[in-house]
Amino acid sequence: MSELSALDAELRDLFRFAAERSMLPRFRALADDEIEMKGEDDPVTIVDREVESFLTDALTKLAPGVAVVGEEAVHADKAVLDHLSEQCWIIDPLDGTANFTEGKEPFGMIVALADAGKAIAGWLYDPITGRLCHTKAGEGAFVNGEKVRARTTGSDPQIAAIARGFLNEKQNAHVDATIAPHYTLVDIPRCAAEQYPRLALGQNDVSTFERTLAWDHAAGILWLNEAGGKAARPDGSEYRVDEHEKTGLVGASSPAIWDEFVGRISNPPD
């Protein structure tokens, strides 16, 4: 049995504690006054706030002087985004909040460590199963201490996870013309902490993301790339956590699948 590093074990224990204290007791038991809407289809709960506060305090004690960029902190004060260009922790305290508020899985917790605009370590935790996906730049990708390599689904046609419900009419038409004829289309789980593992563990072959906020994607992108898959901007450029105005991202279980998919969406038929 593989052992976690001291830092990985520390993060796992923090996730477990937050899940057992704040998250799991309220799953399918949220009161109406424990849910608010930050925007259309963008809920926030007491769990988001409790877990972010707990992780912020814990990570600050773990690494004094390293900034913390939390999703809810950014919602309260956009100036927090300025820390993304320096060494910082990045927290999504409850990834998949919409699922959680509806009493559905999946949902998770995500933490990344970044420096100079690039993720250098990442952790994605599933509170239901206890699965911890973790990585450090240059060291490979792991699940619960076991090194993993990205694998395809083996399906023919390949499986593409596309969030069609978030696309406008023109974008959906583009999917119909360039993607649908060549792939089996499935919906996304609305949880990056689950989608990135699906791309490496043989459930999906390729997926697209429109919104690419750092707390959703920094850890998963690094983990997938370290596993031997590929996640990058559609133009091939690498993802940076401090480019928070940018949109668009493609992740795939192999560089070859990434190249083929991006080639199709970049060159639609007449």
Q: What is the pLDDT of residue 166?
A: 74
Binding residues: 71, 92, 94-95, 216
| Joined tokens for residue 153 | 């689904």
Domains of the chain (ranges, CATH numbers): 6-148 (3.30.540.10), 159-266 (3.40.190.80)
Mean of the per-residue pLDDT values of the chain: 95
Least confident stretch, 25-29, 151-155, 263-267: 263-267
Instruction: Report pLDDT digits (tens) over 176-230.
Output: 999 999 999 999 999 999 999 999 999 999 999 999 999 999 999 999 999 999 9
Percent of the chain with pLDDT over 70: 98
pLDDT at 1 over 70: no
Cα-based distances in Å from 139 to 48, 147, 198: 30, 9, 20
Does pLDDT of 50 surpass 70?
yes
pLDDT (tens digit per residue) in 61-113: 999 999 999 999 999 999 999 999 999 999 999 999 999 999 999 999 999 99
> With pLDDT > 90 as the criterion, what percentage of the chain qualifies?
90
Beta carbons of 231 and 221 less than 8 angstroms apart: yes
* pLDDT for residue 269 is more than 80: no
Fill in the amino acid letter for 81: L
Strand-pair category, 118-125 with 108-115: antiparallel
Q: How do residues 7-18 score in pLDDT, each as one tens digit?
A: 999 999 999 999
Binding residues for Mg(2+): 71, 92, 94-95, 216
User: Do 207 and 239 contact (CB within 8 A), yes or no?
Assistant: no
